[in-house]
Structure 1
Amino acid sequence: MATQTVLGKDPDWHNRLELGRLARLKEKLLEFNCAAGLFYDPINIRYATGTSNMQVYSLHNPCRYVFVAAEGATILFEFSGCEFLSDDRSAVDEVRVANAWYHFAAGPRVAEFAKAWCGEIVDLMNTYGGDNRRLAIDRMDPVGTHLLEDNGIQIVDGFEVAHLARIIKTPEEIDAVRQSVNVCQVALRKMIAETKPGMTENGIWSILHQTNIELGGEWVETRLLSSGPRTNPWYQEASERQVELGDIVCIDSDMIGPHGYGADISRSWTVGDGKPKDDQRRLYSLAYEQVQRNVELFVPGRSFFELADLAHRMPEKYKAFELPAIAHGSGLCNEFPLLIHSDKIQAKGHDGILEPGMVICVESYAGAPGGAEGIKLEQQILITNEGLELLSDMEFEEPLLA
């Protein structure tokens, strides 16, 4: 069974992970001519500081945040009583108690508490920014936005800054991604081996979550597992449906594993040892061909538009349910960029360049409108100077490829 081995081999690995990410974030702040960044999204807080505290809770309660001076201190504002959690974090220069001015905590005193919060942020901008009033912010309620602007702060899109920092992975981040993929594949193999007629979709999905937690992972972003007729159309989450002999089961892992890094792998399999149906094999072959052919297109220097033009597409019968995305980035979660097909990229996409250090998840779904079932497959890769490296080396289902 997979174990956490990276840290044991190199006790300085965590420090390099955290300081390397912080350096990239500060570099991007300087590129955007920002004096500092103020980050509320827990993914961005973790990227900047290495700290993790109540990740899911803080997704909908802005209870902690970090101020990152482009050329100065990184100050973590932590949930009250939790300051000690960051005592050993090399990327954190100072810890303060977060000012909780969101309505759940402040009630009718939001304006009062927000004014005190704003004063502290403006003081930090005066200290570290001088005449530069540009502050990158990823997420902010209107009250805070208006207060900062009234105090002369120019707000810049902090998500863009953070996404462009996170898009290229450091060597330590790649170590962490490999470990998360390893844990995910342990879980997927266990799910396939333990699937039996009569199990519920929720019961099968729970194996992924349990294995991830047992092996040092953290959470799962979606519950995208379906079976039999619920595999078509895609995007149905796990239910109490009991799987039947001969059903297809599909999962998109969307798993946040060890060190907070994502493993986004999709696999599909049949329930029981019987021979798959002809239509199941046909669907599987279509999805397999699309994902395999598109994986090969991810070479350094290729533009997003060129990728869209070259991407292998589903036959006409299946295009209505074809996924709009060819692939997407992955790191601390599913992240920038989102790479979409040629018939959608002009209206909803954008150009860019594939670069070494990007971790990419290449997707496929095969299912026809009105069809009995569908197949979901996805591979996770790393773009390198020499080409691509397959991170998800888990086997496919040979009976479905026969």
Structure 2
Amino acid sequence: MLNDEFTAVLESYKLQGYIIPHPSIVKTPEQIEGIRQSGKITSAILDLLEKEIRPGVTTAGIDKLVYDYTTEHGAIPAPLNYNGFPRSVCTSVNNVVCHGIPSDRAVLKPGDIINVDVSTILDGFFSDASRMYLVGEVTPSARRLVEITKECLELGTEQVRAFGATNDIGRAIEPFANRNGYTVVRDLGGHGVGVKFHEEPHIDHFERPGKGFLMLPGMVFTIEPMINEGGYSVKIGRDKWTVTTRDGSLSAQWEYTVAVTKTGYEILAR
């Protein structure tokens, strides 16, 4: 499509209420390949942790595993020293929604659920993904929260398509979460990623009016629903990082880095 024709198409979408992305956040094939290679390291770390997370492990131990694997593969842990964050990975246990700081004092015990959020810089390209892990035997209710949250992620990801609306992601996630008795965190969301750690667009995981951003081939962003057993309200701890549920209920999160393609989407980190 010629540039003037494409401009006319974008203008027609703008008139329909879409936010038109700035051209700078649409990645070239070469940039997407760089993000894809970064994502391979992120995904491999999450695979590694499947075998390492168990009762008695500290979250600082998880952090060391992430740091060592990342640097041994020629990459950099993106969280380390990012806006003062002191560790290489986020470890969020039970009622911690996100951004939990690894600690030697935080020892995993049977029944815990933990989200590990891995972000990698390889040759200047960023990827970002997280998974939930069950520590020993967990309660049926905790297991169900983790499973439903993964389904929320999959439902949101299925909305990704060229010339779709980013707000369709939240419109798919929140009703499903609510039907299953859960709430969706509203104060945090997904984000563009690739040549920076955080870029446009912001991705809401709950229902919002309007269409949001127009999804164009080459856009790359995270989908990372945070689902609570109780209310959706959260609070930030004294460390200025750790986000917990305000009512103390359990929370779970899964995250992909996703690229919009001409025919749908590609998961670059999972």
| Residue 165 of structure 1: how far off its partner (Å) | 4.3
Aligned to 1:176, the other structure's residue is in SS state: helix
User: Of the candidates 188, 199, 204, which is equivalent to residue 62 of structure 2?
Assistant: 204
Task: Name the aligned partner's letter for residue 225 of structure 1.
Answer: T
Is the counterpart of residue 225 in structure 1 residue 86 in structure 2?
no
Cα distance per residue 1:108-159 (max 9 Å; x no partner): xxxxxxxxxxxxxxxxxxxxxxxxxxxxxxxxxxxxxxxxxxxxxxxxxxxx
User: Of the candidates 172, 190, 195, which is equivalent to residue 311 of structure 1?
Assistant: 172
Which residue of the partner structure matches residue 123 of structure 2? Answer: 259
Is the counterpart of residue 356 in structure 1 residue 195 in structure 2?
no
- Residue identity (%): 24
Which residue of the partner structure matches residue 264 of structure 2? Answer: 387
Distance 1:345 1:326, change over 3 A: farther
Cα distance per residue 1:9-66 (max 9 Å; x no partner): xxxxxxxxxxxxxxxxxxxxxxxxxxxxxxxxxxxxxxxxxxxxxxxxxxxxxxxxxx
Task: Name the aligned partner's letter for residue 327 of structure 1.
Answer: G
Aligned to 2:212, the other structure's residue is in SS state: coil
Which residue of the partner structure matches residue 322 of structure 1? Answer: 185
- Count residues with an aligned counterpart: 221
CA distance in 2, matches of 1:191, 1:278: 22
Distance 1:294 1:373, change over 3 A: same
Task: Name the aligned partner's letter for residue 133 of structure 2.
Answer: W
Structure number with the higher strand fraction is 2
Distance 1:309 1:206, change over 3 A: closer
Which residue of the partner structure matches residue 194 of structure 2? Answer: 331
CA distance in 2, matches of 1:371, 1:281: 17
| Residue 309 of structure 1: how far off its partner (Å) | 6.7
Aligned to 1:298, the other structure's residue is in SS state: coil
Aligned to 2:225, the other structure's residue is in SS state: strand
| Residue 371 of structure 1: how far off its partner (Å) | 5.4
Aligned pairs for 1:167-246 (under 5 A) are: 167-221=25-79, 223-227=89-93, 229=94, 231-239=95-103, 240-246=105-111
Aligned to 2:36, the other structure's residue is in SS state: helix
Aligned to 2:101, the other structure's residue is in SS state: coil
Contact 2:192 2:198 in 1 (8 A): yes
Is the counterpart of residue 378 in structure 1 residue 244 in structure 2?
no
Task: Name the aligned partner's letter for residue 375 of structure 1.
Answer: A
Q: TM-score, normalised by structure 1?
A: 0.50
User: Of the candidates 366, 386, 392, which is equivalent to residue 227 of structure 2?
Assistant: 366
Contact 1:252 1:376 in 2 (8 A): no
Give structure 2 stretches of 5+ with no counterpart: 1-20, 80-84, 231-246
Contact 1:166 1:331 in 2 (8 A): no
Give structure 1 stretches of 5+ with no counterpart: 1-162, 395-402
| Residue 345 of structure 1: how far off its partner (Å) | 6.1
Following TM superposition, the consecutive aligned residue runs of length 4 or more in structure 1 with deviations greater than 6 angstroms are none
Which residue of the partner structure matches residue 18 of structure 2? Answer: none
| Residue 291 of structure 1: how far off its partner (Å) | 0.7
| Residue 293 of structure 1: how far off its partner (Å) | 0.6
Which residue of the partner structure matches residue 86 of structure 1? Answer: none
Task: Name the aligned partner's letter for residue 330 of structure 1.
Answer: V
Distance 1:325 1:298, change over 3 A: farther
Contact 1:217 1:259 in 2 (8 A): yes
Distance 1:261 1:328, change over 3 A: same
Distance 1:285 1:371, change over 3 A: farther
Aligned to 2:223, the other structure's residue is in SS state: strand
CA distance in 1, matches of 2:226, 2:34: 27
Contact 2:145 2:229 in 1 (8 A): no
Relative contact order higher in (CA < 8 Å, ≥ 6 apart): 2
Task: Name the aligned partner's letter for residue 280 of structure 1.
Answer: A
Task: Name the aligned partner's letter for residue 222 of structure 2.
Answer: C
Is the counterpart of residue 286 in structure 1 residue 148 in structure 2?
yes
Moved more, 370-379 or 206-215: 370-379
Distance 1:345 1:337, change over 3 A: farther
| Residue 339 of structure 1: how far off its partner (Å) | 2.2
Greater Rg by CA: 1
CA distance in 2, matches of 1:312, 1:364: 8
CA distance in 2, matches of 1:342, 1:292: 14
